[in-house]
Amino acid sequence: MKHPSYCCKCCKILYLVIPFILLKFLSAINESQVFSNFLLFLMRVFAIGIFLLIAAGAGHFILRHFSLFSDCSLYNFCLSVTTGFVLVSYGIFFSLIKVAGFNIFAPVILVLLYISFKELSLYWGDLFPHNYRLHKDLCVYDWAAASFLGLLLLYAFYNALVPPFSWDAQVYHLLIPKIYISSHGFSYIPLNVYSNMPLSQQLLYVGAMLIGDDITAKLVHFSMGVLICLSLYCFCRRYLSARAGIIAALLFICNPVIYTEFSRAYIDLGMALFCVWMILSIMEYLKTGDRKYCFLAGLFCGMGMGGKYTMLYAFIGGIVLFIAAPWILSLNIAKFSGDDFLSKPEKKQHMKAFVIFIATAVALVIPWLVKSYLYTGNPVYPLMFRFFNGKEWSAQQSFWLVDWQHSIGMGRTLKDYLLLFFRIFIPGYEKLGYRGFAGALYPFLLLLLPACLMIRKNRKILMMFALFFAVFFILWGVGSQQLRFLIPGIPILSLICVFGIESVKKMKVAHIYPLLLALAILAPLQLITGRIIPEIKTQGSYFPMLLGRQTRDDFLRPRVRSYGCYEYLLGKCFPEERVLFLFENKSLYCPQFAYADSMFEASYFLNLALEAGTPEKLKSRLVKFPCRYVVIDEKIREAMHMQGKTWIFSKKENRENFTKALDIMEGFIKTHLVKQFEQNHSTVYRFK
């Protein structure tokens, strides 16, 4: 680390901040659609740059004070930004807390910004990758693979530049940050179950939307995917080769369920990023013996659990690694020779490291548990209803939720569990939706995995990676088998594969290594021909929107079914008037606040209908939602009737109750509502 220079390096920061402010001002006042869109594009690029710089500066401060820098500047940069994401998220958390209507902890984020900008001004040259001579390590194959990776990231960036229209982004990933911004802090959001779950990732979107807009939030998630690719590359380049790093990044990104995430404002890539750095931090601890890496590992694990309940799998996997590490690293078999960067920890010091990891991870989850308890009475809302109950939730909804989640996948028999690992790599199951795994992984990881059996070096670290993935996969398998929930473990599986490929390279089997390289390069080709080209044909070009030839409204209208209804309501409702959503919950673009179900399969309104028993009693119960208008997505309405009576629930009682509730709801709609407007399979009704 160089000694800081106190010359006017803050000017470099101003080179970003001043143009950003100017672009934001010009884009707001410019009347030309084409020029305004171009200015908005530049504004978003500057906005995401500033956001990443803030995270990098804050993370660099922690790493510098803990002396946790490696000899790879790119590796340090990725670690700095990832650490900074955690600090920014929790800085925003405390800033959103309101006491007597005031954000009394707002200075927390101001202090964080001061630290970050000071760090940037003092250590600008050390913060970013430098002296990085990539070309010396690469041959034609490597450049081809790197070009594929670059093209895939460029196309994902292109997709991320249009207004968000993915489902979950409209239901809660962006809706909740939008409401927090408008209310200047945390606030209770009626019926939105997700708003009372851990939301560490969504708080990053709060920051992004404050600096830029909803597209900037999408770019935050995109940047997390890029950071995963860079992190895999850096780790492999340090301990294997640059080629291994490029292949690891390709094997990760070249899966439909993962690649689509790059252009959406979801959270799964963020969870994967924190999971990767949790594992890599544990590896650094086992290499150096420095317990401060365990603090980082706990930081990333806690950030993950503070973003999604299923990241408990990563926490348990980390605990298993700490318990198993002394035994794995004490193996003294000839075949295990060559592990030159992991060492067995001393027992007492290892126990201290273990405690640091657990304490840090748990400490980051506690604020979310407290928030949930204060708003709902249940710290793990809506889970464990039997013990904690919970506001706007019921036992029947819990039964529906558990049954629905367990219906996702290909079965729950012993045979199904034994075949599960192989089935997730069969792309045809993606067409089954929730009757499959609601996503697809291409089979290249599965085909390359046997190469790890030929490893002659670094077998211990392979065992560590394999143990973590096995724990994560088993917990995922016994829970909801939705493939998106497995994404945090896929980068580790990619690392296992490239360790195997590198081992084959050093064996005297000339034909196997080129075959493995050919399989790896087929992955992006399969993604392009099997996913990207068909997507372009169905979605069309986004260039009219990006170039200003199409307005935001014209772009969203065919992609958000209820968008026309929202435009209708804008001309009919009073500014503060609220609307009721039935069989619709994507309210991001609704100009009025909407009372909406978070999840249809565990519907609050259907449970209300079931408790009421008749359409007339249901109407009397809906009086507590003072609304004149009701929005219904007719496609979802039809789907709920078809799926609710067939495959969503495996238990007969849940299926019968769901069907009964649907019938009562239909009676209520036909008896007490009158149609006012219909467009694109979405309808606005009015109470009679």
Highest mean pLDDT among 15-19, 99-103, 436-440, 502-506: 99-103
- Phi, psi (rounded to 5 degrees) for 105: -100, 10
Q: Residue 379 above 70 pLDDT?
A: yes
> What pLDDT shows up at residue 135?
56
What is the Cα Rg of the chain in Å? 26
* Higher pLDDT pick, 343 / 416: 416
The whole-angstrom separation of Cα 219 and Cα 205 is 10
pLDDT tens digits, one per residue of 219-247: 999 999 999 999 999 999 888 889 999 99
> What pLDDT shows up at residue 333?
56
Q: Residue 555 above 90 pLDDT?
A: yes
115 Cβ contact partners less than 8 Å away, ≥ 6 residues apart = 57, 58, 61
C-alpha torsion angle, residues 667, 167, 426, 418 (rounded to 10): -70
Contact predicate 429/410, CB 8 Å: yes
- Phi, psi (rounded to 5 degrees) for 131: 50, 40
pLDDT tens digits, one per residue of 59-97: 999 999 999 998 888 999 999 999 999 999 999 999 999
> What pLDDT shows up at residue 497?
93
Which H/E stretch holds residue 684?
A: strand 682-687
The whole-angstrom separation of Cα 494 and Cα 313 is 18
> What pLDDT shows up at residue 565?
96
Q: Residue 193 above 90 pLDDT?
A: yes
The whole-angstrom separation of Cα 301 and Cα 621 is 42
> What pLDDT shows up at residue 336?
46
Task: Kindly state the DSSP code that residue 528 receives in the 8-state scheme.
Answer: I
> What pLDDT shows up at residue 436?
78
Mean pLDDT of 125-143: 73
The whole-angstrom separation of Cα 264 and Cα 167 is 10
Q: How confident is the model at residue 490 (pLDDT cuts 50, 70, 90)?
A: very high
pLDDT tens digits, one per residue of 20-57: 788 777 777 766 667 788 888 889 999 999 999 999 99
Mean pLDDT of 661-672: 94
pTM, entire model: 0.94
How many other CB atoms sit within 10 Å of the CB of residue 260? 18
The whole-angstrom separation of Cα 132 and Cα 73 is 8
Amino acid at 478: V
Strands (E), 548-648: 579-582, 594-595, 629-633
Task: Please report the domains of the chain, with CATH numbers, ordered by start residue.
Answer: 1-132 (no CATH), 133-537 (no CATH), 560-687 (3.40.50)
85 Cβ contact partners less than 8 Å away, ≥ 6 residues apart = 55, 59, 204, 224, 270, 273, 274, 303
How many other CB atoms sit within 10 Å of the CB of residue 257? 21
Which H/E stretch holds residue 604?
A: helix 604-612
| Percent of the chain whose pLDDT exceeds 90 | 68
* Higher pLDDT pick, 45 / 134: 45
Contact predicate 84/119, CB 8 Å: no
Q: Could you tell me how far CA 116 lies from the centroid of its own chain? A: 24
Q: Residue 509 above 70 pLDDT?
A: no
420 Cβ contact partners less than 8 Å away, ≥ 6 residues apart = 409, 410, 477, 481
Q: How confident is the model at residue 6 (pLDDT cuts 50, 70, 90)?
A: very low
Task: Report, in this order, helix, strand and coil percent for the chain, each rounded to 5.
Answer: 70, 5, 25
Token pair belonging to 8: 């006017």
Q: Omega into 256 within 30° of 0, i.e. cis?
A: no
How many other CB atoms sit within 10 Å of the CB of residue 280? 25
Q: How confident is the model at residue 310 (pLDDT cuts 50, 70, 90)?
A: very high
The whole-angstrom separation of Cα 401 and Cα 454 is 44
pLDDT tens digits, one per residue of 629-641: 999 999 999 999 8
Token pair belonging to 228: 């995963």
Alpha helix ranges (H) inside 378-511: 385-388, 395-407, 414-423, 444-448, 459-478, 490-505
The whole-angstrom separation of Cα 594 and Cα 597 is 9
> What pLDDT shows up at residue 60?
95
* Higher pLDDT pick, 438 / 185: 185
Order of strands across the sheet that contains 673-679: 594-595, 579-582, 629-633, 682-687, 673-679
> What pLDDT shows up at residue 648?
84
Mean pLDDT of the chain: 90
> What pLDDT shows up at residue 398?
94
